[in-house]
Structure 1
Amino acid sequence: EPYYNKILEIIRKISVTTFKQNPDPWLYKGIVSGCLRVAHQSVFTDANNFTTFGMNAEPYTGFFGFTEEETHKLLADCGLSEKENEVKEWYDGYRFGDKHIYCPWSLISYCYAATQKDIYAPQPFWVNTSGNDIVSMFAKNSIEAHDSGNVDRLQRFSDRNVIEISLKEFTTYPDLNNNMDFDIFMTLMLHTGYATYAEETYSTDRVKIRIPNNEVALCFKNKFENLYTKNNHHWFNQTLSLVDLLMENKTEEAQMLISTMLKEFLSIRNSGDELYYHGFMTGILGIAASTKGLEYYEEIETGTGFSDIIIDNFDSEIACILELKKTEKLEYCYDAAQEATKQIIQKDYASKFISKGYKKIYGIGLGFAKKSCRIVSLGNLVEARTNQ
């Protein structure tokens, strides 16, 4: 936008003048190449009887990039035969029919750069030729729609797992803004080189796909990391809200927000270790606390132990002490939160701030199980100490 419809009209005119030549045709054969079927954009309606060859159509499967034999010869010609395994990890991995194909742009770019230096490490070439905005758009729309299923499947795919999809075509690019169907998106990823068929795929409808190589994997990794920063306003606004809720001891609202964020951003396969939840909460609270001018600490010595997370508002003399516990079963999530509060008391984590004369010190235990969270609050520990 705003040029989409304008460029389609230009292409339609080119199509008519090129392929529709009655009564005196001068063109014997025309070939149009691209990543999607030409009929999708309705720009060739005046040119009939197109024959479409996809990436698995014989005998053309070896024409979309460099085959293993061609790559072997190219590296030998450039004096880079010893780099063959490294090149394979970075630029191979595409499966067209029964052939393994290397990305031609990346391979040529690598060979040129490597021959200019004695030591040269592989780097992304093809994925850096575009903004890769379609990946960010899909992930952001899924997050904002609270579609944890899409986010979880995309996360598993980006971690280089084989996933299964139904091949689904779409009509035009603008339709993607309105239809964030996962299968449609991944079919587009397959057509455009961000995914490839897994070796065990034989069906023509329900297929297994994977990330082809290190170059594309790095692209997805960078996109996901960018989603969990200030650049993703939806995510960042949630983190700011959570800091406010915790510092005001509004635990019911905080519990609901954390559970929502777990479902949106945490893949269930990663929820097997307490350290992962610790990292998750650190990612949520660290930047947000700093943005609000608050001090943020993790694993600092206080009392007779080391508290998991502390958020400190020095000016207002308010501190929030967070202790995290993880359990395997959802029904024990609340018990884990209670166990966390017991540790806050037993280790006397509040003593450091009580000695400084803080007015409010909230002790909060968080229990985690899979994609759920339960919170138990000890209330204001200053008042509790005074009442004793």
Structure 2
Amino acid sequence: MELVMLIISLLLICTRTSVSSDDRLQVGMTVVRNAAALDAYCLDASLPAYHIHKGFGPGERNWLLQFEGGGWCNDIESCAERAKTRRGSTRLMNKLATFSGILSNNATRNPDFYNWNRVKIRYCDGGSFAGDSKFENGTLKLLFRGQRIWQAVIQELVSIGLKSANKALLSGCSAGGLAAYLHCNNFKTYLPATTTVKCMGDAGFFMDAQDIAKNYTQRIFYHNLVTLQGIEKNLDKACTSSISDPKQCFFPQYLLKYITPPVFILNPAYDIYQFHHILVPPSADPRAVWKSCKLNPTACRPDQIRVLHGLRDEMLTALKSFLSDSSSGGVFINSCFAHCQSESQDTWFALDSPKINNKKIAESVGDWYFNRNISKQVACPYPCDKTCHNQLGEGSTSD
């Protein structure tokens, strides 16, 4: 009898688990029909799109805009390939988007933003919504119109209620997190002076750091990207006029001090993308010495851990002024091997979500946005943070 009851209990648990995983909000796609008037197109000339779930109750006049992530393309070959995928064409995208984490409409899963107007802006330009150029050669045509896509989407949202926002948060994950930094100042210009405007970059603080071979692989990648997609003219003018190489303003560490709305930096110190592509790109590890360490941080040798700590130290050095400033900025830098933590329910707000000083990510972001508490949290170096047990390996990545 006890065995039967145990089996029934396990079946009930499995059923509840299935229901809880399947009741995530699915939101349909809205194509921006007026985008053609701005010549705002995806790489393959399809129209841009977004997903919106309307706010309700006290959140009816509050808005959260979330840029989708998904890497970049920085040469004709990679962009031509990207144009044939969901990363370069709305025609090839899933027409439903899952809204979880910061996009959830469930008060127990997303206590501060669940009833806001929540928008996911689809990513199809390969340049963090910042480019404005095109390429044509025979039958091959690629449109780098990320800046115009941003303008087309924001103008449409303004027309359906954003112009009356009481509170607004511009956010994004990965390449979308970078876009949140790049467009934060411009976002404020579309809103009334009375609107509380803030911005958050999730896993978007990509570092201008040397790789293990002492090369600036990411700098070269970004410079080629900025040149190809015509991004430089769209970068913040205060930043570009104060730096010897204006292309460097594509890096948040150089742009940050010129962003005027309050900013929250949500980033793992051992971000999986930065670990795998900035610190130890394949070109810097031709013999795959780091392969086991990349697959599982517990397999890293002591000398490799020291190199990883160096990446963390470099990030904290780049943020030194921001961290010491007593003003309105927020920080959550944990020691998880992860990438993008705001859109996943497991990392945003769940029973076993990552914590710093007993604060989960959602609680820290909420404290910052609503001025409930000073919210600058930095975890001790790996492996002392025991809340990251569910983040080893590749983790959650949009790239």
TM exceeding 0.5: no
Which structure carries more relative contact order (alpha carbon 8 Å, separation 6+)? 2
- Larger helix share, 1 or 2: 1
TM-score range, shorter chain: under 0.3
TM-score, structure 1 as length reference: 0.25
TM-score, structure 2 as length reference: 0.25
